[in-house]
Amino acid sequence: MFELPSKIKNYINGEIVEPISKNYFSNINPSTGQEYSVVADSDKADVELATQAAIQAFPEWSTLPHQKRFEYLMKIAELIDKKMDYLAYAESIDNGKPLKLAKRVDIPRASANFRFYATAILHYYSQAHINERTSFNYTFKQPIGVAGCISPWNLPLYLFTWKIAPALAAGCTVVAKPSEITPMTAYLLSEIGIEAGLPKGVLNIVHGYGHKVGQSIIEHPKIKAISFTGGTKTGKTIASTAAPMFKKLSLELGGKNPNIIFADCNYDKMIKTTIQSSFANQGQICLCGSRIFVERKIYDKFKNDFVEKTRSLKVGPPLNEDTQIGAVVSEQHMNKILSYIELAKQEDGTILCGGNRKILDTPYNSGFYIEPTIIEGLHYTCRTNQEEIFGPVVTITPFDTEEEVITMANSVEYGLSATIWTENLTRAHRVAHQLESGIVWINTWLNRDLRTPFGGMKASGVGREGGFKALDFFNEDKNICVDLS
């Protein structure tokens, strides 16, 4: 057990400060449904202060030798690792996710993000084009200026750092906003920034609501690039403001990902991973495979085994060692998920297991728990199969042919990720090529190499994060041409 701060404040110009309004709102622990801290209710004026600090810091930070920026980022990574248990505890309390998941995935990946971009900047290079004896061009990568980074609540520190680390490595200064629903580890990152000796104003973190703080970041004329991860609807609002201002935009949005299972798959590996890809983090990972398509030959066997394994998943308090499914992030989100289960019933779906809120013993009896839920019998075009639910709810649907499953998989407006299970290598590639997804996994799931492009097609986003692509995003190319004649 650790003691967590009771007041989440802003980090502006190297200092932890109160919001100008002095107003705060409740921060709820989803495992108990009770307030456990308060969050700065910042607004436009705080974003202005943060942006001015970032503008001041930019000339020095952007011209610092890469080696120096590497050292700062490595120091932050080391501090995250040193505080691993504390940060994992904070993430679990703030978000409702099982503590052991936060320890295994969220926090290690947050320090990995800093380490990866600390080293990436040392290997980042410019291109040159030489015209024999006539001219010589080199393309200079110039940090774009102040970057705005806005992240969601499902993988709070992990996704926050996935934006901040490349922005800082590239030489940008940052005004960042975590989700107001899960601000705790972002606040703890401010303390780490101070401990790491990050120069004043290089990283600024402003807490508060999306429509106030988020919108002010998007609208600020001096913030040149916006890196956003969140829902597709919010992405549209952001694009409508930022695009006419000619800001650079990276949008990582929602998903409704297919998990395609052929009869010739490695069955044991598939079923174990499918439990993960369906219910990890209570199904609140943008990459979860919520539409499961199973070749008819093995449909009944799969259904029986999958339901049995899902029923045995332990729903419980996130801090308990044996908990596999924790709380969903908020009451509002819980009600949204439950309303989709009701919709599935109206659409003539059959609930094979789960389907209800789960009430635990005190002190967790007001927490936001939902039984992992499997639904069958729905047409692939119905709303349950088309809209993002973002909870521990999956549908299962049989298919007969490759063509049929590709049509069903591609029928949604989203195109983030897909998983294919087959031992037939030719078919695996053939199907992968026809799927409208930015990321396709064959016989695996959530297998990430930080060097690869990450992002979605269609309504799942615009642009790619990861590897040098993120460094490119936070830089602008300037071509310089020298006459050699």
d(CA 443, CA 270): 7
Which of the residues 446 through 465 are near ligand NDP (CB under 6 A)?
Answer: 456, 460-461
Determine the interface stretch with ligand NDP among 61-69, 179-187, 424-432, 477-485 (rule: CB under 6 A): 179-187
- Quick check: is 481 catalytic? no
CB of 156 to ligand NDP, least distance (A): 9
At a CB cut-off of 8 Å and minimum separation 6, what does 146 contact?
Answer: 51, 54, 55, 58, 172, 173, 174, 175, 222, 223, 224
CB of 65 to ligand NDP, least distance (A): 32
Sequence-distant contacts of 440-449: CB under 8 A, at least 24 apart: 441/417, 443/265, 443/266, 443/269, 443/270, 444/273, 444/419, 445/259, 445/273, 445/276, 445/277, 445/287, 445/289, 445/419, 446/276, 446/277, 446/280, 446/285, 446/287
- 396-425 footprint of ligand NDP as x/- string (CB under 6 A): --------------------x---------
- 143-162 footprint of ligand NDP as x/- string (CB under 6 A): -------xxxxx----x---
Catalytic residue among 180, 252, 376, 465: 252
Q: Is 337 in the site for ligand NDP (CB under 6 A)?
A: no
- Binds ligand NDP (CB under 6 A): choice among 30, 193, 230, 355: 230
Contact present, 278 and 290 (Cβ < 8 Å): yes
Contact present, 221 and 245 (Cβ < 8 Å): yes
Q: Is 185 in the site for ligand NDP (CB under 6 A)?
A: no
CB of 450 to ligand NDP, least distance (A): 14
How far, in Å, are 51, 152, 383, 414, 477 from residue 179 at the CA level?
19, 5, 27, 22, 31
Q: Is 359 helix (H, G, I), strand (E, B) or coil?
A: coil
Q: Is 290 in the site for ligand NDP (CB under 6 A)?
A: no
Location of structure tokens 């308090």 = 317
- Binds ligand NDP (CB under 6 A): choice among 10, 204, 234, 290: 234
Q: Where on the phi/psi map is residue 190: left (φ > 0), alpha (ψ -120 to 50), or beta?
A: alpha
CB of 250 to ligand NDP, least distance (A): 10
d(CA 436, CA 414): 8
Q: Which is nearer to ligand NDP, 62 or 460 (CB)?
A: 460
Q: Is 211 in the site for ligand NDP (CB under 6 A)?
A: yes
Q: Site for ligand NDP (CB under 6 A): how many residues? A: 33
Q: Which is nearer to ligand NDP, 151 or 397 (CB)?
A: 151
- Binds ligand NDP (CB under 6 A): choice among 177, 220, 247, 291: 177
Q: Is 222 in the site for ligand NDP (CB under 6 A)?
A: no
DSSP string, 398-462: EESSHHHHHHHHTTSSEESEEEEE-S-HHHHHHHHHHS--SEEEES-SS---TTS-B--EETTEE
Determine the interface stretch with ligand NDP among 55-63, 133-141, 210-218, 302-310 (rule: CB under 6 A): 210-218
Q: Which amino acid is at 135?
A: S
CB of 194 to ligand NDP, least distance (A): 23
385 half-sphere exposure, CB direction, 13 A CA radius:
23
- Binds ligand NDP (CB under 6 A): choice among 253, 271, 294, 435: 253
Determine the interface stretch with ligand NDP among 24-32, 33-41, 121-129, 228-236 (rule: CB under 6 A): 228-236
d(CA 114, CA 16): 21
d(CA 302, CA 483): 68
- Residue 106 is given by DSSP the state I
Q: Which is nearer to ligand NDP, 141 or 256 (CB)?
A: 256
Determine the interface stretch with ligand NDP among 80-88, 97-105, 191-199, 208-216 (rule: CB under 6 A): 208-216
Segment (H or E) for 128:
strand 127-131
Catalytic residue among 149, 172, 265, 286: 286
Q: Which is nearer to ligand NDP, 255 or 355 (CB)?
A: 255
Q: Which is nearer to ligand NDP, 144 or 416 (CB)?
A: 416
449 half-sphere exposure, CB direction, 13 A CA radius:
7
Q: Which is nearer to ligand NDP, 210 or 367 (CB)?
A: 210
Location of structure tokens 């120091």 = 75
**Alpha helices by DSSP H, 1-98:** 44-63, 66-82, 84-95
Which of the residues 374 through 393 are near ligand NDP (CB under 6 A)?
Answer: 388, 390
Q: Is 164 in the site for ligand NDP (CB under 6 A)?
A: no
- Quick check: is 252 catalytic? yes
d(CA 362, CA 156): 27
Catalytically active residues, by annotation: 252, 286
List residues near ligand NDP by CB under 6 A: 150-154, 159, 177, 179-181, 209-211, 214-215, 218, 229-231, 234, 237-238, 252-255, 286, 388, 390, 416, 456, 460-461
